[in-house]
């Protein structure tokens, strides 16, 4: 059939591809041998919207609007907080 890859409705991590958002050229640009990349408009589980490169979706490089990274930060902070608390408890004992 030779059709282009259609990611519509597919889910990648927290992102669901809803429609094509045009083409961008990676690297040097359109006239300098840059590679054409299809961009996709995606809706994240958290409700945010994000335009993502199709290849980044397929290879798993981009899996959220950025909220995954933010939640990782939260987890890190919680871990640090607990470590601090444990150290305090140890100091008391």
- In the complex, minimum distance from the CB of residue 69 to Zn ion, in angstroms, rounded to a whole number: 10
How many other C-beta atoms are found inside a 10 Å radius of the C-beta of residue 3? 5
Residues of span 20-49 touching Zn ion by CB under 5 A = 44, 46, 48
Q: Where are the alpha helices (DSSP H) in 4-58?
A: 54-58
Sheet holding 15-25, edge to edge: 11-12, 15-25, 36-44, 49-53
- In the complex, minimum distance from the CB of residue 80 to Zn ion, in angstroms, rounded to a whole number: 23
Residues of span 58-77 touching Zn ion by CB under 5 A = 64-65, 67
The residues that touch Zn ion, with contacts defined as CB under 5 A, are 44, 46, 48, 64-65, 67
């Amino acid at each position: 059939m030779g059709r282009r890859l259609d990611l519509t409705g597919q889910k990648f991590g927290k992102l669901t591809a809803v429609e094509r958002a045009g083409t961008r050229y990676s690297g040097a640009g359109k006239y300098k041998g840059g590679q054409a990349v299809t961009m996709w408009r995606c809706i994240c589980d958290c409700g945010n919207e994000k335009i993502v490169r199709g290849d980044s979706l397929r290879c798993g490089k981009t899996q959220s609007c950025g909220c995954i990274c933010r939640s990782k930060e939260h987890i890190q902070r919680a871990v640090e907080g607990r470590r601090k608390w444990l150290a305090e408890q140890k100091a008391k004992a």
